[in-house]
Amino acid sequence: MIKITLPDGSIREYEGVVVTGTQIAESIGAGLAKAALAVTVDGVQRDLSDPIKADAKVSIITVDSPEGLEIMRHTVAAQVLARAVKNLYPSAKLAIGPTIEDGFYYDVAFQEPISSDDLEKIEKEMRKIIETHASISKSINSKADTIAAFKERGEDYKVKIVEESEQKDGFQLYAQGDTGFVDLCRGPHVPTLKHIGAFKLTKLAGAYWRGDSNNEMLTRIYGTAWKNDKDLKEYLHRMEEAEKRDHRKIGKEMDLFHMQGEAPGQVFWHDGGWTIFKELEGYIRGKLRRHNYQEVNTPRLINKDLYIKSGHWGKFGENGIFTSNAYEHEHALKPMNCPCHVEIFKNDGKSYRDLPIRMSEFGNCFRQEARGALHGLMRVTSMTQDDAHIFCTVEQIEQEVILLNDLIAEIYAELGFESYFVRFSDRPDARVGSDEIWDAAENGLKKACEAAGVDVVMNPGEGAFYGPKLEYVLKDCIGREWQCGTIQLDFNQPNRLGAFYVDVDGEKKHPVMIHRALLGSLERFIGILIEHYAGHLPLWLAPTQIVVSGIVEDHNPHVEKAYKRLKDAGFRVKADLRNEKINYKIREHMHAKVAMVGVIGEKEAAEDTITIRRLGAEGQKTYKMDEFIAMCHEEVKTKALPLSHQKDKQAA
């Protein structure tokens, strides 16, 4: 007799010494039995066919739960895609095929390279396989048998995986009916191919075996899978919509910036984009003033000896740092501002009374990124960091980290980012400084995080070469993660570069250095901002805040008057005096994501009003000129979020 406790707390009893998920599902109801994909037994996912030999808490997994969807996706990858590939390309060797957010992939070594045109062919084969409704069965095998099975099939990668596994026994092989196809898998899988929903292969890309660039590159086939066609369509539509928010596309539509081959990874800022840049910079300057920072500016081209001393050269060397020969010395285009700030710190004697010193710079840095890594504004070779270095004592670290975390949270909230997360990256393999120093730095940062109440996601081995760091991560339109703000603890550089202060006891001591960036790089942050708002920026950031236009040319004198008043009131305003219909102009300016179009017609001219059409709103609204100006001032001052990001949307 086995007692099974179901999620609702009810207990069912089953005769015999074993029971399976299938039996449990059947005993509950025919509908559930049909829908069941797998079971959770005492918190562990198992196949429906797995014997349950003792009392347990069991829940039946269907495709309606996130777990069920993931199991189904996994089956699409490991059973359907893998088998389709083997059917079409018998010489292909299978590596791994996990699920990812919204889908799955499979890494395959093809003898002949395949192209994205082949995806259609593979998809067709997959549909054929699913049509067979084959049942999936599992066998449990010894290590030796498993290796033998894959050796026989020429699956070199599977052999490697099993050989190098720490697991001694109990390798699960999943087969499809009597097709001869087997795959190694942790499971569980859906019981039959009838349970596969809607799927689509999405893209093809290279990926290194085991994620190591020293290894050979395999072909990764990506796909997405959903419980039905409707969900699949919705997903594809969502992705399409998301891609429209791409900052490179919107940057063009709004005439913000461009990039070109003569300067890879560098930005030609147009007037509009540079307006955003300057506004953000000004906004951050305001924060710096209130938080008692000094602002400095340091050279771009610096004798590389400084970077040898600081440790940068050893870490990034010729591949990461641009160099130039000037005055018979090799110079580096500065990759980071920190050594320069240390030099300012060192320029006169410092006392413990001076600390903390918060030294900021909108520092223009250059980094020779791997070509394939460049990505619009998000990953550039020349960037402007809203950088600062806080020179302080060990005792001051905690307080400073709390202040910084609060400041970043405040800024992200004001800019309309409700969701971001923080990664804690600790010591990397390539680093400077002793383990004792690293222990101290990591513990210091951890303690400070706790004190500041920051929830962190650990990110082992990804710290800076000089110290551990917090990374404030934002996502772009299609969910890619980008590090923006950062707080890094550095016990190394001040020592290497010989920075001292005189402590209360008269002893010379090295200060601790906290590297920090709030937005990260202005370039990347603007990219994120554009995607976050799909170009519908808050009024204070909008490159063009108002375009004023008449209905007919006769109104142009009034339009120019209104234009002048708005301009004198301090707004970024343009007058559209062209001989075009108002529909045409509205359309054009809305496409260019102008925040507001103000229309002056006969009525408005007579009554000293302006009729406003807002970006993202349906209708229009007429205001007294004075009221309109006051309203805009208020909106800029309060940094109000645009309509699309306000809870109660209203027209104008």
Q: Interface residues for RNA in 217-236 (CB under 7 A)?
A: 217, 219-220
Q: Tell me the C-alpha distance between 259 and 170, whole Å.
A: 55
Residue in 86, 247, 331, 367 annotated catalytic: 367
- Phi, psi dihedrals of residue 248, rounded to the nearest 5°: -70, -40
Active-site residue, 365 included: no
| Cβ–Cβ < 8 Å for 200, 123 | yes
Active-site residue, 340 included: no
| Cβ–Cβ < 8 Å for 251, 379 | no
- Answer yes or no whether residue 115 interacts with RNA by CB under 7 A: yes
Q: Tell me the C-alpha distance between 495 and 498, whole Å.
A: 5
Residues 575-634 that bind RNA (CB under 7 A): 579-584, 586-587, 590-591, 597, 599, 601-604, 611, 613, 615, 619-620, 622
Active-site residue, 510 included: no
Nearest of 612, 618, 608 to residue 651 by alpha carbon? 618
Residues 459-518 that bind RNA (CB under 7 A): 462, 464-465, 469, 478, 480, 483, 486
Active-site residue, 387 included: yes
CB nearer to RNA: pick between 197 and 550: 550
CB nearer to RNA: pick between 127 and 581: 581
DSSP letter for each residue of 543-604: SS-EEEEESSGGGHHHHHHHHHHHHHTT--EEEE--SS-HHHHHHHHHHTT-SEEEEE-HHH
CB nearer to RNA: pick between 350 and 585: 585
CB nearer to RNA: pick between 343 and 414: 343
The single residue among 15, 212, 505, 648 that binds RNA, judged by CB under 7 A, is 212
Residues 179-198 that bind RNA (CB under 7 A): none
| Site map 535..574 versus RNA, x via CB under 7 A | ----------------xxxx--------------------
CB nearer to RNA: pick between 393 and 622: 622
Residues 274-313 that bind RNA (CB under 7 A): 312
The single residue among 252, 278, 329, 624 that binds RNA, judged by CB under 7 A, is 252
Q: Tell me the C-alpha distance between 542 and 254, whole Å.
A: 10
As measured in angstroms, the least distance from the Cβ of 277 to RNA is 19
The single residue among 18, 326, 370, 630 that binds RNA, judged by CB under 7 A, is 370
DSSP letter for each residue of 176-223: ETTS--EEE-S----SBGGG--EEEEEEEEEEEGGG-TTSPEEEEEEE
Helix (H), strand (E) at residue 389: strand 382-392
The single residue among 16, 43, 372, 506 that binds RNA, judged by CB under 7 A, is 372
Binding span for RNA by CB under 7 A among 112-120, 274-282, 294-302, 413-421: 112-120
Residue in 93, 341, 469, 613 annotated catalytic: 469
Residues 376-395 that bind RNA (CB under 7 A): 376, 379
Phi-psi region of 291 (alpha: psi -120 to 50; beta: other; left: phi over 0): alpha
In angstroms, the Cα distances linking 20 to 60, 65, 379, 472 are 11, 20, 52, 46
Residue 630, token pair as written in the block? 């006051």
Active-site residue, 469 included: yes
| Catalytic positions, written as ranges | 338, 367, 385, 387, 389, 469, 515
